[in-house]
Structure 1
Amino acid sequence: MSVLSSLRRLACCLLGMLPLLAAAQPLRIVTEELPPYNMTLNGQVTGLGTEVVQAVLKEAGFADTPIQVMPWARAYDIALNQENVLIYSITRTPQREKRFKWVGVIAPTRWYLFSLGGRTLPVKTLDDARRYQTATVNEDAGEQYLVDKGFRIGQNLQSSNRYELNYEKLKGGRVDLWIANELNATYLVRQAGDDPARTLQRALALTDLGSEGGLDMAFSLKTPDALVERFRKGLDAIRRNGTYESLQRKWL
């Protein structure tokens, strides 16, 4: 092979790597405090979702990339509008489908409207729920879902920036319902020193909220496809080698 041909092949290889090289340095990872999926303990970000993401980062060659924890509305806005942003643990909904490049499921979830244990509300449909005050988190999937169904913030929705505030509202009688995923709700109730079996009642299952399988990790649209595919392969790899299943057993 001539020197010229070799140089041409090298140039082609380098050009093909440019999307990854461009994304390697500025990759940003954002999440929120959503225990037990993502949470800060002793100054370290951990949780089921976090550990799955960290395992994928290692497979993809980004093990040293820091994870930033912030209120969900801010993390969501960053992922919507900036380049090379990875966000987790995010619910995949029809409203969000074309707003992100999806990597895959990292943890299970089931959404409910919860009422306070011992207080049975006649809620069999969302239309029934409209008559009551429901606690939500600003711009999270539950709030977006209810707004899309015709609920209104400040009318029959009370929005907060922190999930634990919603349990306090429910327990204190300031709201009638709380929209939350089951793992997060039961974790927060236990952290408050209460028994979820006694304190929480599943008023209505929201089976159409989120994709089948659970919470996802996703990239901003302004992320090279090559980088997204690299992370998809990383997630596939930890599923094949048993890491994913091991982490699920550890946290669930």
Structure 2
Amino acid sequence: MPPLTLNSKTRCVLYGAVMLWLGVCGARAETIRIVTEELPPYSMTRDGKLTGMSTEVVQAVLNEVNVQASIQSMPWARAYDLALHDPNVLIYSISRTAEREGLFKWIGSIATSRWYLYSSSTHPISLTDLDDARDWQIATVNEDVGEQYLIGKKFIVGEQLQSSNRYELNYQKLRTGHVDLWISDELNAGYLARQAGDDPARTLVQSLRVPELEENGGLSMAFSAGTPDATVQLFQKGLRTIRENGTYDAIARKWN
């Protein structure tokens, strides 16, 4: 029997298939580290288990792409630093901004968000624009997008901005009058108020909406810049799939 010969087109197709297979297998072979923060109801530890809307979306993507990886919850500044400097780190829920665009490899949006500067109903503050907030003390979270946004607008930590590592501390500061304003995502603010036994409709005043923080799809998942493209593409495909097959919508309905 004469040896089998392949034309150039067939060789190219086979070569492409082999390279794709190697890329996907390589992506799955990488050790992936997943980091997040305590940002209820998107990610939070309850009874020793990490849960929340964004967490369930990430877990659904992991199941879809058949990758096993543990998720660690830590202060946002530490999670952000790891994702900035270490390869193969997946971070969520991270807002996609112009300043962050080139720092990460973006997978896609996993939750919508609306951002406000809140004041307390016991000390309501009317703001027509962001400049009106410069005379007030504002609660922020260290290195989160709200704080980064305000710093970019020339607000200063230790002067107008009172930074902390935990979101629930900021609600307590606002509630007790230790700060005048609090920059927060709407779902997070409402959840923390209810956890404190309050009705957010009665205790929180939406003094100013911050639409710049809502661009590019709200909250996302992203890989560190040193992550192989094959890994990124695998997760992008997984997120698209759970959006198309209804899994994402089912999770969103549960938490909204």
SS in 1 for 2:154: coil
Asked whether 1:161 is paired with 2:165, we answer: yes
Distance 1:33 1:185 in 2: 13
3-state DSSP of counterpart to 1:211: helix
- Alignment partner, residue 83 of structure 1: 87
Partner of 1:107: 111
| Contact 1:164 1:188 (C-alpha < 8 Å) held by counterparts | yes
SS in 1 for 2:215: coil
The one of 146, 149, 152 aligned to 2:153: 149
Aligned partner of residue 121 in structure 1, secondary structure:
coil
Aligned-residue offset at 1:119: 2.4
Does the residue aligned with 2:171 lie in a helix, a strand or coil? helix
Match of 1:214 in 2: 218
Residue aligned with 1:112, SS? strand
Matched-pair contact (CA < 8 Å) for 2:103–2:225: yes
Residue identity opposite 1:85 in structure 2:
V
Q: Is the 8 A contact 1:23 1:84 kept in 2?
A: no
Counterpart-to-counterpart distance in 1, 2:237 and 2:139: 38
Paired residue for 2:55? 50
Structure 2 stretches of 5 or more lacking a match? 7-12
Please state whether the residue corresponding to 2:232 is helix, strand or coil. helix
1:143–1:17 CA distance, 2 compared to 1 (3 A): same
2:90 aligned partner, one-letter code: L
* SS across alignment from 2:35: strand
Equivalent position of 2:235 in the other structure: 231
Which one of the candidate residues 27, 31, 52 is aligned to 2:32? 27
Which residue is 1:194 aligned to? 198
Provide the rounded CA distance (Å) in 1 between the counterparts of 2:127 and 2:161. 16
Hey, what's the Cα distance between the residues in 1 that align with 2:14 and 2:126? 69
Q: Provide the C-alpha distance between the structure 1 equivalents of 2:66 and 2:198, rounded to a whole number of angstroms.
A: 42
Indicate the percent of aligned positions where both proteins have the same amino acid: 58
- Residue 131 (structure 1) aligned with residue 129 (structure 2): no
**Contact 1:136–1:160, Cα closer than 8 Å, also in 2:** yes
TM-score (normalised: structure 2): 0.91
Counterpart residue type for residue 116 of structure 1: S
Larger Rg: 2
Partner deviation per Cα, 1:27-85 (whole Å, 9 max, x = no partner): 110000000000111111110000011111111111x3110110000000000000111
* 3-state SS of paired residue (1:78): helix
- How far off is 1:137 after superposition? 0.2
The answer to whether the Cα contact below 8 Å between 1:115 and 1:200 also exists between their aligned partners in 2 is yes
Q: Which runs of 4+ in 1 moved over 2 A?
A: 1-5, 9-25, 210-213
| Contact kept? 2:76, 2:144, Cα under 8 Å | yes
CA contact (8 A) 2:26 2:230 kept: no
CA RMSD, 1 decimal: 2.2
> Distance in 1 between the 2:89 and 2:157 partners?
28
Checking the alignment, whether the CA contact within 8 Å between 1:32 and 1:38 is kept in structure 2 is: yes
Task: Specify the SS of the correspondent of 1:250.
Answer: helix
